Amino acid sequence: MKKNLLTIGVLAIGLSVQAQTVLMHVDNTAKMYVSKGTLVYNGGGLQTKGNGNIENRGNFMIVGNTTSDVFRNLDGTTGNPVTGGVPGTFINRLNEESAYNLVNPTWPATPNPAVPPVPVYTYGQLYIDGISQGNITGVVNQEFRQIKHGAYQQMGFPFYGKTVASLSQTTTPVAATNLGKVFTNTRYSGNEILYWNNNTVVSTNLPNGLNTTLGDNLSPFAYYIVGGYNLDVSTQTRTLTGRPVATTSTGGVPTLSTTLTNAGNGLNFGTSGNAVNQYNEYYNSYLQDTFSASSGAWQGNFGKNIYQFGNPYMTNLDLSQIANNEANGDGNYLTNIYGIRLEVQGVVYSPLSGGGSASYKFVTFDAGTKQPVGDVPYAMVRPMGTFVIKLNNNLNTPETLNFASLRRFNYHRRLATTSYSVTAAKNVENTVKQLGVIGLDANGNELERTYYVVSPTTISGHTANPTVQVAAGGGTSFGTFEENALTGGYDNNNFSYWLYVNEANESNFKGKNIKLVNYNPNIVSFKFEIRENAAEVAAGTHLLSAGEGFYYKKGTDVTVIPAIQGTVVASTAGSTSGVEYDLYYGMPTGTLGTRDDVKKTSRTLVVYNADTNGYFVRFDPSWKKAKVEIFDMSGKLVSSKNDIDATRDHVLDLANDLNIGYLVTIISEKGEKVTSKIVK
C-alpha cells in the first residue's frame, strides 16, 4: 500500500496563517480530507474557523515548536477562540466499520520493512506533541466501535476536561453521538461508570460523580468500567467529542508516564479471597489473576502488582517490546513484567456472586529473549482500548511506563532491534518458540485457542514461579494440562492446572508430550499457528531455527505428525469426557503406544477453576458411577459421596476459608482408583 506524506510548511485554506501560534488554518466552510494511508505532518499550531473541518481517515501528526502553539477552534463570525471547541471540525473516521471485531495481522517470520502486513481494520489517528494542555482548546470527534464485553464495557477515554455526564445521550430518538444511553451514579445498576484503582484493587466510584472530568479529576490513562445495560458500541458507530490529551517533553522526550508501584501492596485479601473491599464486596467475587493462579490462588503475588490502564491517545499503543531493553527502542523496559491481559470478553455481573470475565487474550514474555508469546497480534491497543500489566513483584526502585513513546500509527507491532529470520543458522537455541492450536467449528470459524511455548528459560512441569504460563478460565473447554517434567503426560500431583498458555524447557522436555484436551463439541478441526520470537513463521514451515519443530498426535494414535504452519487438520469433536491429543517439541524417541499389555492411565482428573477458586472432578469417559472421598492431610475423612454421576463434572465441596491440603480419592464402579493431592 502506498503511503502519502504531506508535510505542512505553511498551508492556509482561505485565510492567512497567524505567526507564532498557528501553522495551519482551515477557514470557514473549507474542507480538508486526509485519505487512508496518508500521513500529514504539521510542525506547529493548528486552528479551524466556523464550519471549516478536517476529515481524517489516515494519520495526522501535530508537533508544536513554541510555547504559544495552539490547537483551537474559532467562531465563524467573530474569529475569536470558542471555549469548549466546535464539534465536527476535526473528525477521526473509521474506514472499515464492520471489521471492528477483527485483529490486524502482525509480521511474518521474514519481515520485509518495505512490505508490511496489510491491516483489515483502519481508522483516522491523531498525534499531538509539544502543545501544552492549556493551549489545546479545540475538540476532536472520535469515531469508534468495540466488541461487546458483556455486563460492563472496559474502556479508555482519550480526552481531557470532558465530563462523564457528557457521555450520556439524552436526545430522542437516540443518535449515534455519545454512548447512546443515560448514565447514573447508582452502583450495580449497569448504568454507572466506575474506574479501576490499581492501589486498592477495586472498581471505584467516580470522585465527583457524573461531574468528574476525564483526564483531569482522573488520569488520562485511567481504566473505566462502563455499565453495559442497553449499551451498544458494536452494531453502531459511536462518536465521542472532546479535547485531546497533551503530551509534553521531558529532557527532549515526549512524556506521559506513570510509576508502576504498590498495586495491592499491603492488602490482605483474606483466606481464599473472603475479605471485603471498601464497598463490602468480597475480593473473590471479582478479582481474577490467571497469571498467578498456577502458583497458588490468594497466595503471594496473586491479585497484586496488577496495573489496569486505558489508552490515553487517539493512536494505537504498541506493547510488544516493553520487556525488551533495546538500544534504539521506545525507552520502556519493564524488567519484572510477567505479562499483559487484553481484549476482555464475556463480562458478567450478579448482585449475589459478583462479577468477572469469561475470556481474555494474553501476552507473556520469555525470560531469555524478552520476546512476547501468546496472543501477540493483540499487543497493539486501539484508541479507547484497555490493557492490564502484571508484574512479578513490587520493586524497591519502581519502574516507569511512558505511554507517549508507545504510540504507533501502524497497525502491526514494531519489530525488535534484532529480528528473527528463518534463514538464521541452524542449531540456534536462544529463541522462544510457540505453537498455537486454534479450535475451529464446522465453518472454519475460530472458537477457542491454546498455546505451547518452549525456550531455554521456560520451565518444565509444575513450578511456583512460571515464566510465561497462564491458567485457563473456568469457562474454557479447550486447553492443556500441567505436564510431568520427567516423563511427559499428565502430572498426577498437579491435575488441577488447566492452562491457556503452557510452558516447558526446550532442552529437558524435548520429545516429551503435553496433554491437549478438547471438551468443546463444536470444535471439529485444528489450525496451527507457529511463531518464533513472536513472529509468525512462513506458511508451510515445520522446522524452526534450532532444527526442531512441533508435533502432534491424537491420544489413541501411534503416529506422530509434524505441526505445519497454517495447516488445518480434522479432529474428533470434543465431548464432556474430553478428547485427548499429545503435543511435542522435538520428535519423540522410541515407539509410542505399540504394546497392548501396557495399562492406560485413567483420565479422571481433579481440575482447578481459577474463576471460582474451586476444584472439580472430570471423570474418565469409561466411568459411569463414582465414589469420591476427601481427606485432610492428617488422614481424617472430610467428605464422602457415593453413586456420583460420572458423565458430568463433580464440584468438590472444600472449605475456601482454610489454606490446608486435601487428598482426594476417586473410585469407579469397577474399582479403578485415582488419587490426587490438593495443596491450597
Task: Give me the CATH number covering residue 644.
Answer: 2.60.40
- Residue 456's contacts (CB-CB under 8 Å, 6 or more residues apart) are 368, 429, 430, 505, 506, 507
- How many structural domains does the chain have? 3
Residues of the chain under the 70 pLDDT cut: 1-20, 109-115, 172-176, 344-359, 416-429, 473-475, 492-497, 589-603, 608-613, 633-634, 656-660, 677-680
**Which residue is listed with cell 501544552?**
132
Domain boundary among the residues 418, 451, 471 is at 418
From residue 288, how far is each of 80, 147, 337 by CA, in Å? 51, 21, 17
189 part of a folded domain: yes
- 336: its cell numbers: 519484572
Distances (CA, A) of 205 to 186, 188, 195, 199, 541: 9, 11, 7, 14, 51
What pTM was computed for the model? 0.70
Q: Is the residue at 125 inside a domain?
A: no
Instruction: Report the pLDDT value the prediction gives residue 593, as an integer from 0 to 100.
Output: 33
d(CA 184, CA 203): 16
Q: Are residues 331 and 194 part of one domain?
A: yes
Residues 6+ apart with CB under 8 A from 579: 517, 518, 519, 554, 555, 571, 572, 573
> What pLDDT was estimated at residue 607?
73
Q: How far is Cα of residue 560 from the mean position of the Cα atoms in its chain?
A: 33
- For residues 402 and 261, membership in a common domain is answered with yes
**Domain membership flag for residue 285:** yes
Residues 185 and 317 in one domain: yes
Query: 574: which residues sit within 8 A by CB, 6+ positions away?
Result: 439, 477, 478, 518, 519, 520, 521, 522, 523
277 and 356 share one domain: yes
**Do 262 and 375 have their domain in common?**
yes
* Boundary of a domain, candidates 355, 385, 418: 418
Output the pLDDT for position 397. Answer: 93
Same domain? 530 vs 674: no
- pLDDT (0 to 100) of residue 17: 41
Predicted pLDDT of residue 81: 95
- Dihedral of alpha carbons 555, 558, 559, 560, sign: positive
Residues 262 and 351 in one domain: yes
Query: Which amino acid, one-letter code, is at 572?
Result: T
Q: Which of 418, 447, 465 is the last residue of a domain?
A: 418
The pLDDT value given to residue 494? 62
Are 405 and 447 found together in one domain?
no
Contact 309, 156 (CB under 8 A): yes
Query: Is there a single domain that holds both residue 392 and residue 472?
Result: no
* C-alpha count within 13 angstroms, C-beta hemisphere, residue 417: 12
Domain assignment of residue 40, yes or no: no
Answer yes or no: is 1 within a domain.
no
Same domain membership, residue 354 and residue 304: yes
Same domain, 362 and 465: no
Q: In which domain, by residue range, is 480 found?
A: 433-585
Is residue 628 domain-shared with residue 556, that is, in the same domain? no
The answer to whether position 280 is within a domain reads yes
Beta bridge mates, 138: none
pLDDT of residue 188: 93
**Residue 372, domain member (yes or no):** yes
Q: Domain for residue 69, yes or no? A: no
98 vs 118: CA distance, rounded Å: 17
What's the confidence (pLDDT) of residue 603?
65
